[in-house]
Structure 1
Amino acid sequence: MNLMSVDLYQSATDPEKFLALPAGADPAELMGPMTFDQDYAQVVRYREGFEFDPSESYAGVNAAKIAADILTVKWAIYRREA
């Protein structure tokens, strides 16, 4: 799979929860993540323009699922596990 440029946001209320969006997307325009979990109602930018490789292994996350979610619903929520 090709690299994806994504912006990563961290929940302001739970630092282990993250939101991934296509680079340049505005999280304030989304309602979906908050529907599933109120911890995504307030997010702060964590990384901008991150070159995400869905075939790579990232600590405690399912990279393939994140990529699939971004491609289908235009956002992905996940929890970073230790």
Structure 2
Amino acid sequence: MNLMSVDLYQSATDPEKFLALPAGTDPAELMGPMTFDRDFAHVRCYKEGFEFDPSQSYAGVNAAKIAADILTVKWAMYRREA
């Protein structure tokens, strides 16, 4: 799978929860993430334009699921596990 340019946001209420969106997407325009989890009602920018490689291993996250969610619903929620 090819690299994906994503913006990463961190929950303001739970710093272990993150939201990945296609780069340039405004999280305020999305209702889905906060419908499923109120911790995403308020997010702060964590990293913009991150070159995400779904085939790579990232500590504590399922990269393939994140990529699949972004491609199908245009956002992915994940929790960074230790």
Short-chain TM bin: over 0.9
The normalised TM-score by structure 2 is 0.99
SS at match of 2:34: helix
Q: Write out the 4+ residue segments of structure 1 that deviate beyond 4 Å after TM superposition.
A: none
**Following the alignment from structure 2 to structure 1, what is the Cα–Cα distance between the partners of residues 62 and 34?**
20
| Total equivalences in the alignment | 82
Q: Which residue of structure 1 lines up, in the alignment, with residue 19 of structure 2?
A: 19
- How far has the Cα of 1:53 moved from its partner? 0.1
Q: Deviations over 1:18-63 (max 9, x none)?
A: 0000000000000000011000000000000000000000010000
SS at match of 1:13: coil
Aligned sequence identity (%): 89
Q: Deviations over 1:51-81 (max 9, x none)?
A: 0000000010000000000000000000000
Q: Which residue of structure 2 lines up, in the alignment, with residue 80 of structure 1?
A: 80
When the two chains are superposed, the root-mean-square deviation of aligned CA atoms in Å is 0.2
Q: Which amino acid aligns with 1:70?
A: I
Q: Which amino acid aligns with 1:25?
A: T
Structure 1 residues without counterparts, runs of 5 or longer: none
Structure 2 residues without counterparts, runs of 5 or longer: none
